[in-house]
Structure 1
Amino acid sequence: MRLLPPLILAVITAWYLNINLQNIIIAVLCCGLGLTLLRSLPIGKRYHYQWVQGVFIYVLIGCLGMFITWQNNSSHQSNWYGKFYNDSMQMVVSINEPLIEKERSFKVSATVESLFNNDTLKKVNGTLLLYFAKNKTAATLQYGDKILIKGNLQSIQNNGNPGAFNYSRYMAFQQTYHQVYLKEADFIVLHQQKTNIVYDFIYWARSKVVKTLQKYIVGDKKVVGITEALLIGYKEDLDKDTVQAYSNTGVVHIIAISGMHLGLIYVVLVWLFSKLPYIKNSPITRVILILGCLWLFSLITGAAASVLRSAVMFTFIVIGKNFFKQASIYNTLAASAFVLLCYNPYLLWDVGFQLSYFAVIGIVWLQKPITNIWYIKNKFLRSIWEMCAITIAAQIIAFPICIFYFHQFPTLFLLANLICVPLSTVILFAEILLLIVSAIKPLASAIGQTIYVLTWLMNTCITYCNNIPFAVIDAIFANVLSTILLYVFVVSGCAYLLYKNKVLKYTTSVALLLFLVCWGYHKWQLLQQQKIVIYNVSKHTAIDFIEGNKYQFYGDDTLRIDGALQNFNLKPSRILYQINVAPNGLPAVQQQHNFFEFNNKKIWIIDSAITCKPLANPIEVDVLLVTKNPNINLENILIAVKPHCIVFDGANSLWKIEQWKKQCDDLHLRCHITPKMGAYILNVP
């Protein structure tokens, strides 16, 4: 527990301050020199300055964390492809996984092996995303295939809308910085393969499991998709509305392959191997079998961060219980986190990793005190209350980070978990049994039908809970400062209730006061806001006029009715600015056809071909928005209009935008391209 904090701090420092290798080496040498000098002191003085030795050790651990972070960044490697690539080159890449089918393309991750330019071959490494246009050749590609590609690499970018998910940073943590779209003529399949025996087995096993489930669990695709996700985390067949319902009711961990799945399997394995002859009397055999089963399940499910955390933690627990004395569970948790961060420091930013540890800490710390609040004699009712205590304990410690990432709180999480955890447990073991007996078709069919009915029942219960008014509190404000203050309040408050320490009481009160001040100040700031946001939405026009906590939307009708498009492109911004739609519009917004005036800021929208007549005094507008590929010439527009900024949004073709940008450069006009620069935000004074 004492070694983990400096490692975490070092990883964060290395990422945000971009510490280079030279500075890390200098720090290590200084620490080594300092420790050598301490060792040369007399024993008495060494004891007196023992705390200095501790500081040096902490700094060394920090240097380890910074070095691991630097080393795991593929762009720092001497042979990273990004240091040598140019548009005239071809690439030899090997496909890392089975292709994922999208609506209009196939998506896959690939490893760059070499760059080919004329007669020169350069060995390189790195990972990029490939998008294939749907065609027969692309559909036949498999894991391990090598292909020669020719295409202009594009940097992975965010959509740039306010509050949007930072996709480029997420992919950077996966060491992927570029993507390329390939038509059939842009690649050649080479008669070579590069595979790994472990990944070969994983993809074969996942495919076999999915096919078995689809063969014997027949019916509504929404139900079948849940069964696949619940057992091995296969998400390709999940229905978006169903996933949202699980998220809104606080039980999304059931289909996200959390530590709960591994915990259930661990309990059954311990019980099973403690009953079998020969195995129960051989600790080494028992440990090997338990860990083998746990890690096999972890690998087949895709080795998600939450499952890795559980697998590493259970590895420590199993080995400790069988060969060493029982250690503190907090040290076991810290040790598993330390090992995982040494393996991949970028797991620190993984939401599943964070939620997994927060939830387990909550259960370990608070489950027993919560259980002891209410003593129930009846065994059945007591087991239900213990289950409730586990859910409440996990939620208490995890909810601040959930609000920070998802800006919502499921008010019915307790009811939903009481229904779903027992049902999902039965379904999980029934699916495992189905895989075991899949060769016996009549029995497998009966089990498959039972699984379908139970999963349908679980889906129905979740949908019903989700449809209850106020099942979820949505659009909750949260930033880094408010989340830290909320955690101080929650942790110190729980500690005060457990230990009755006055310092903790005052800490809780101060944290709550500061949190309320932070929340109130932010609310006050939002009530004063006035701005115009022109969003970056591919093939669509979208504008929000914002005044205080209300907004008026202008854009395509598709965006008004398509919930998925709104949730992805517009909702994050509306949560960030804490705004709700103005039912009758904003009085400050004056509209005449495509001309808008909002508190003295003028916007003219051109969405079709237009010819302007020259004016002696061109009309001044703050923003000229060009959208939907109009057939226009900017020089002709400027004889009638004088814009402060010309905005080209995502509803235009990129090649047209490039032509208009050249015109803007020639005419010395300021322009903003939303597909490249993100949303255009005009603050109204």
Structure 2
Amino acid sequence: MLNKEIPFIRIVAPICCGIVVGLWVSPGTTFFIVAALITAVVFLVGRYFRKSIYNPVFGLASCLAFFLIGLFLYTKQKEDIHELPEEERIYVGILEDYPLEKPRSHQLELRLRHVLVDGETLPVKGKVLVYNDTVANEKFIPGNILIFRLTPLKITNRGNPCEFDYKFYMENQGYRYYGFSSSEDIIDIQSPEKRKFRYLALIFREKLLNIYRHNGIEGEKLAIIAAITLGEKGLLEPVQKEIFSKAGIMHIMAVSGLHAGIVALLVSWLFFFLRGKLKPIREVISIVSLWVFAFITGLSPSVMRSALMFSFLIAGRLIKRPVNPINSLLASAFVLMIASPSVIFSASFQLSYMAVFYIISFEKHLAGIFDIKNPLPAYLWRSASTTITAQAGTLPLTITFFNRFPTWFIFTNVLILPVATMALIAGFITLLTSPLHIVSTTVAGILDKLIGLTEDLTRKAAALPLSTIDNVGMTVPECIVLTVAITLLFRYLTDRKRLSPLPPLAMIALFTSLVTIKSFIVANESKIIVYNTIDYSTTAFQTGKNLVVFSDSSSVEEVKRHKATLGLKMDIVKLSDNPVQIKSLDKKVLITGKINGNIMRKLEPEIVVLKGKNVDIADEDYGFNHPEAIVISEEVYLRSYQKEILRRITADTLHSVSSDGAFIASAKQKTIFKH
């Protein structure tokens, strides 16, 4: 029955499985040829068997075919990112976007096209991030061709426990390398004969952004309206993102399904008079408006995903057939996966599709609990029910990705979202009326007030007591099981007469078991960890669920995700400039910015953690008490003679956190700390 109502589930599910399997295996051409032949044979066998077994055989062959398509597409996508030698060469690339200003440089996103090797120009694929000290000028336009000199460096993770997989994230965006360059490394910048449509969209978005500037909108307000209406988040300050995240309305800052839905609804209201036989015209106008909106926001992946998703939903109404909206949702996902298989690993893809899936499936049932006749209370309850449904569907993902959960999300979405929606509409009117200076300026004044009100309400909401539950987290298996459990529970609650409560209860029991197993494993772990933290040293001792952290900084963001994911209790001890020796677990660990023979003979440390930007390493006899490991913190810069001295100490392990990742050593569990 499900297959007939939602036929795309038979396509999307095996494709997703094929893509996921592609994480671990990358078969060659021979494999795919043989697999395709086997699939064709299965199809033929099903064709000549009796009808009673035709459907199962045909279904098996279909699943196998779509599984192979998913595996093939993802394998090809990975192969399209070429390996580059970590040596200086001249490259030719296309500028993907306007330069993004960083504290000490500009970030250039470049799609590689050619590399010059021994006087020969060779094709190369993939994208690279270049950090350049050149001040951005009118030549750095999306689509322009850059000829530049670069030594590519491979993007790596920091190796910290439970860290965000940045390397995997960037590779799914097409980036495997980054590099640093100066103004002298930019050899030439050329304009293409014909600029691609996507680059034209980015240029047009920049022109629209300048309209806001010309109307007096600057600073934080410009950053917010640029994010809401144009999808330009590069102007947002980290503090602004933090405030909107704590208030539970960060989704209004990322142009996605919410904004596409507002555009479609606004167009439907404007053309309300197109009814009856003229209603299809209104639907077509809505679809066209969605793609115009996608164009002015730079055709970013999240906006195109939302436009495609709503286009399928509207098309379902347009053809006047009883189309299941979930099938339309899956159809849009299918198109996106064919275009870019790695999209299923994107946090925004998962969050937006899960939210829309829950709203389609369960919001109507939740809203129907109360039959409210008064328009205002009815609107408030409908907004609240939509928010609750979407938050329930995205709860596991939110905790897994962001390690926090906003507690006032109902209040903020019901109160702030309408104001932000009015700001969105005012922003569009400001752009549309730009030729009429007086009108545009007047509307821009209203827009300025609305953005100010949005920001003010958001700050107050974020400052409320217990505005968020921070430092919570879960593993990927826990996230998957909890998502299934919540889905089954909602499904049961919407149809309790026909459905059994056993499936949701079983999944809840499985989730509880996973959490219990994780707690048991963590409770029996003992580790010494030197985190790969930026510009400061952080050493931690984990004994069971207790994590004692010794750090130069009181803000240890890299440690918080580890703490949240495993549910650890953390204590932070601020380090001074003096050497500190900690006797914990079964090890003596010396954290210091200075080592010499006297210190080593007197303290006899088993692990030495070097910290500080100006370490002092004495060139003298260190005796026979050699440490098991010398760990060099990320901020430490060693001169060549200092490296030679460390090699003479002949520790079993010489570990550089900046190049080798975080240092993690298991130890026997002892809970006594002495320093």
- After TM superposition, the score normalised by the length of structure 1 is 0.89
- State the distance in 1 between where 2:440 and 2:132 align: 37
Asked if 1 retains the 8 angstrom alpha-carbon contact of 2:362 and 2:494, the reply is no
For each residue in 1:546-588, what CA deviation from the matched residue of structure 2 results, as whole angstroms up to 9, or x when unmatched? 34444433232xx22xx5xx33x332222234334438x69xx
Q: Pick closer, same or farther for the CA change 1:658–1:259 going to 2, 3 Å.
A: farther
* TM-superposition CA deviations, 1:394-452 (whole Å, max 9, x none): 11222122122222221111001011221111111111011111233333222222222
1:627 alignment counterpart? 611
2:445 counterpart SS class: helix
Of 666-675 and 310-319, deviating more is 666-675
- Of 13, 32, 50, 2:21 maps to 13
* From 45, 54, 79, the counterpart of 1:37: 45
In 2 relative to 1, CA 192–305 (structure 1 residues): closer, same or farther, beyond 3 Å?
Answer: closer
Q: Does the 8 A contact of 1:492 with 1:504 survive in 2?
A: no
| 1:82 and 2:83 aligned | yes
Q: Distance in 2 between matches of 1:273 and 1:248?
A: 37
Shift of 1:21: 3.2
Residue number in structure 1 paired with 2:221: 223
Residue identity matched to 2:665: L
- Structure 1, unmatched stretches of 5+, are none
Classify the secondary structure of the residue corresponding to 2:371: coil
C-alpha spacing 1:604/1:126, structure 2 compared with 1 (3 Å):
same
Secondary structure of 2:306 counterpart:
helix
Q: Is this contact kept in 2: 1:371–1:386, CA < 8 A? A: yes
Residue in 2 aligned with 1:519?
A: 515
1:201-247 residue CA offsets vs partner (Å, 9 max, x unmatched):
2122211121122232536x333321111111211221322221221
Alpha-carbon separation, structure 2, partners of 1:88 and 1:215: 43
Amino acid at match of 2:168: R
Residues 531 and 682 of structure 1 are in contact (CA less than 8 Å); yes or no, is this contact kept in structure 2?
yes
2:249 equivalent in structure 1 = 251
1:546 is matched with which residue?
542
Q: Which residue of 1 aligns with 2:635?
A: 651
Matched, 1:66 2:71: yes
**How many residue pairs are counted as aligned between the two chains?**
660
Aligned equivalent of 2:107:
107
What does 1:149-160 align with in structure 2 at a 5 Å threshold? 149-160=148-159
Checking the alignment, whether the CA contact within 8 Å between 1:606 and 1:627 is kept in structure 2 is yes
Which of 646, 662, 670 matches 1:679?
662
Q: Deviations over 1:273-301 (max 9, x none)?
A: 4537xx99667865554333211211332
Deviation of residue 66 (structure 1)?
1.3
Specify whether residues 487 and 94 from structure 1 end up closer, same or farther in structure 2 by C-alpha distance, changes over 3 A only: closer
Selected match of 2:369 from 367, 373, 380: 373
Q: Tell whether 2:602 aligns with 1:594.
A: no
Which position in structure 2 is the counterpart of 1:431?
Answer: 427
Given candidates 335, 353, 371, the residue that maps to 1:339 is 335
- Could you say if the C-alpha distance between residues 596 and 523 of structure 1 is closer, same or farther in structure 2, counting changes exceeding 3 Å? same
**In terms of mean alpha carbon deviation, does 355-364 or 147-156 score higher?**
147-156
The answer to whether 1:570 aligns with 2:568 is no
**Which residue identity lines up with residue 214 of structure 1 in the other structure?**
R
Q: Which residue of 2 aligns with 1:262?
A: 260
Q: Secondary structure at the match of 1:317?
A: helix
2:93 aligned with 1:93, yes or no? yes
- 2:273 corresponds in structure 1 to 275
The partner residue of 1:352 within 348, 359, 364 is 348
Distance 1:550 1:468, change over 3 A: farther
Pair 605,348 (structure 1): closer, same or farther in 2 beyond 3 Å: same
Note if contact 2:143-2:196 (Cα within 8 Å) is conserved in structure 1: no
Q: For the residues of structure 1 that align with 2:621 and 2:385, how far apart are their CA atoms?
A: 67
3-state DSSP class of the match of 1:68? helix
Native 8 Å contact 1:536 1:675 kept in 2: yes
Instruction: List aligned pairs for 1:612-623, cutoff 5 A.
Output: 612-613=597-598, 620-623=604-607
Change (3 A) 1:34 1:580: closer
Q: Within 1, Cα distance between the matches of 2:290 and 2:68?
A: 33
**Structure 1 residue 118: Cα displacement:** 3.2
Which 10-residue stretch deviates more, 124-133 or 333-342? 124-133
- Aligned-partner residue type, residue 660 of structure 1: K
Question: Aligned partners of 2:448 and 2:284: how far apart in 1?
Answer: 34
Quick check: 1:540–1:651 contact (8 Å CA) kept in 2?
A: yes
Question: Which residue of 289, 293, 296 corresponds with 1:297?
Answer: 293
Q: Please say if residues 139 and 189 of structure 2, whose CA atoms lie closer than 8 Å, have aligned partners that are also in contact.
A: no
Matched to 2:100, the amino acid is: I
Provide the secondary structure at the position in 2 that maps to 1:390: helix
Rate the CA distance shift 1:410–1:137 in 2: closer, same or farther, 3 A: closer
Residues 1:323 and 1:513: Cα distance change in structure 2 (over 3 Å): closer
- Opposite residue 11 of structure 1, the aligned amino acid is I
Amino acid at match of 2:565: L
- In structure 1, the residue matched to 2:440 is 444
- Which of 48, 55, 70 does residue 50 from structure 1 map onto? 55
Secondary structure of the residue aligned to 1:536 is: coil
Q: Which consecutive unaligned segments of at least 5 residues does structure 2 have?
A: 1-8, 669-675
- Tell which deviates more after alignment, 200-209 or 302-311: 302-311
Structure 1 pair 405–81 and aligned structure 2 pair: CA distance change class (3 A): closer
Mapping of residues 408-423 of structure 1, within 5 Å: 408-423=404-419
**1:548/1:439 Cα in 2 relative to 1: closer, same or farther (>3 Å)?**
same
Cα pair 1:664 1:670 within 8 Å, conserved: no
- Structure 1 residues 353 and 590: CA distance shift in structure 2, 3 A: closer
Give the deviation of 1:355 after TM superposition. 0.7
Give the whole-Å Cα distance in 1 for the aligned partners of 2:599 and 2:356.
70
> 2:309 maps to which residue?
313
- Residue aligning to 2:673: none
Distance in 1 of aligned mates of 2:329 and 2:244: 27
| C-alpha distance 505-40 of structure 1, shift in aligned 2 (>3 A) | closer
Q: Deviations over 1:301-328 (max 9, x none)?
A: 2444443332112222333333352311
In the other structure, the counterpart of 1:132 is: 132
Aligned pairs (5 A) from 1:190-229 = 190-191=189-190, 193=192, 196-218=195-217, 221-229=219-227
Counterpart contact for 1:618–1:641, Cα < 8 Å:
no
SS in 1 for 2:161: coil
For 1:684, the aligned partner's letter is A
CA distance in 1, matches of 2:511, 2:345: 24
Write the distance in 2 (CA, Å) between the matches of 1:548 and 1:158.
25
Specify whether residues 545 and 637 from structure 1 end up closer, same or farther in structure 2 by C-alpha distance, changes over 3 A only.
farther
Relative to structure 1, the CA distance from residue 35 to residue 520 in structure 2 (aligned partners, 3 Å threshold; closer, same or farther) is closer
Q: What is the CA-CA distance between 1:25 and the residue it aligns to?
A: 2.1
Q: CA RMSD in A?
A: 3.0
The aligned counterpart of 2:492 is 496
Query: Aligned in 2, Cα 1:657/1:435: closer, same or farther, shift over 3 Å?
Result: farther
How big is the shift at 1:628?
A: 2.6
Change (3 A) 1:633 1:383: closer
% identical equivalent positions: 22
- Indicate if the aligned counterparts of 2:198 and 2:299 stay in contact, CA closer than 8 A: no
Report the alpha carbon displacement of residue 194 of structure 1 after superposing the two structures with TM: 6.3
Paired residues of 1:273 and 1:280 also in contact (CA < 8 A): no
- Distance 1:138-1:661 versus aligned 2 partners, 3 A rule: farther
How far apart, CA to CA, are the structure 2 residues paired with 1:475 and 1:544? 17
* Structure 1 pair 546–298 and aligned structure 2 pair: CA distance change class (3 A): same
